[in-house]
Amino acid sequence: MGKKEIDIEIDRLTNSIENSVTGEVFDTQVVQLRKSDKKNINPAEWLFDWEAELDLSNREVFKLTTANNPKIIHGLLSVEDKSDHIFIHLVESANFNKGTNKMYFGVAGNLFSFACKVSFEKGYEGYVAFDSKSALIEHYKKKLGATHFKGQRMYIETVNALELVKKYFQD
Amino acid sequence: MSIVKEPKGIDFVVKSEPWSDEELKEFRKLMKKRKSELGEKKRSKIKENYKKVSKQPV
């Protein structure tokens, strides 16, 4: 990705997710995936083709796991460095974290927060851009502080990006 | 710290389509405008705040 590589510090960023049944909170980490990690992704368990995503040289793929069980992937994120903002190509929670009976809350929020953090680290002042399904635009505004740009295009700007990062990093 | 929970029955799944050069140009213009509206002082403060947050032990 680009000329400026992401610091190891944010490669191993720790947040948390919450068990939807017990309310128990688990520390998580976001770690970059390499091509050699393809074997750890079972295509049958994911909607998007993450193996193909790992082959794209201009993108970086990250996995979110709990800190004590790094083998179970709770969510995946694909981003591209656009030189002045971070563009989110894909975000997906694992099957067990989807739907009304999702096992853990906070997976996607965690990954969006991470994307904002990457943007700050690269000097892009937190700016993150992505597309939303039409039906989700209002939810992204409300939950992530995202702003509607046009059509399905959305972005998170500096102030709300900081708020999102704070939600996951500040007591 | 808090957790951003998706609304019940909603999954935040993103699959972005590439933005056109024209859209990117427009977006960059918008970012420039927003940064200008925010002002140098506030932008610096946000950067400082970010540094404080990012330095917190996890």
Q: What is the pLDDT of residue A15?
A: 77
pTM of the model: 0.91
Q: Going by C-beta distance under 8 Å and a sequence separation of 6 or more, which residues neighbour residue A26?
A: A16, A17, A18, A19, A66, A67, A68, A104
Q: How far apart are CA A116 and CA A122, in angstroms?
A: 10
Q: How far apart are CA A142 and CA B40, in angstroms?
A: 27
Interchain proximity A170–B23, CB inside 8 Å = no
Interchain proximity A131–B49, CB inside 8 Å = no
Radius of gyration of chain B (CA): 17
Q: Going by C-beta distance under 8 Å and a sequence separation of 6 or more, which residues neighbour residue B29?
A: none
CA dihedral for A161, A167, A168, A169, sign (positive or negative): positive
B4 touches chain A (CB under 8 A): yes
**Is pLDDT of A171 > 90?**
no
Q: Going by C-beta distance under 8 Å and a sequence separation of 6 or more, which residues neighbour residue A78?
A: A50, A53, A59, A60, A61, A62, A88, A89, A90, A91
- DSSP code, position A36: G
**Is pLDDT of B58 > 70?**
no
Q: What is the pLDDT of residue B56?
A: 61
In tens, the pLDDT along A118-162 reads 999 999 999 999 999 999 999 999 999 999 999 999 999 999 999
The predicted model gives B8-30 an average pLDDT of 94
Q: How far apart are CA A91 and CA B15, in angstroms?
A: 7
Q: What is the pLDDT of residue B40?
A: 96
In tens, the pLDDT along B35-55 reads 999 999 999 999 999 998 887
Q: What is the pLDDT of residue B53?
A: 85
Beta pairing class for A128-131 and A25-33 = unpaired
Confidence band for B7, pLDDT divided at 50, 70 and 90: confident
Q: In whole numbers, what is the pLDDT of chain A averaged over residues?
A: 89
Q: What is the pLDDT of residue A95?
A: 94
Structure tokens at A158: 């500096």
Q: Residue B13 in 3-state DSSP? A: coil
**Is pLDDT of A8 > 80?**
no
A64: nearest Cα among A23, A131, A11 = A11
CA dihedral A112, A115, A117, A123 (to 10 degrees): -140
Phi, psi torsion values for B15, nearest 5 degrees? -135, 95
Q: What is the pLDDT of residue A170?
A: 58
Interchain proximity A162–B28, CB inside 8 Å = no
In tens, the pLDDT along A47-91 reads 999 999 999 999 999 999 999 999 999 999 999 999 999 999 999
Which chain A positions have a beta carbon within 8 Å of B25's beta carbon? Answer: none
Which chain A positions have a beta carbon within 8 Å of B48's beta carbon? Answer: none
Interchain proximity A112–B30, CB inside 8 Å = no
- Helix segments in B1-58, DSSP class H: 21-38, 40-55
Confidence band for A10, pLDDT divided at 50, 70 and 90: very low
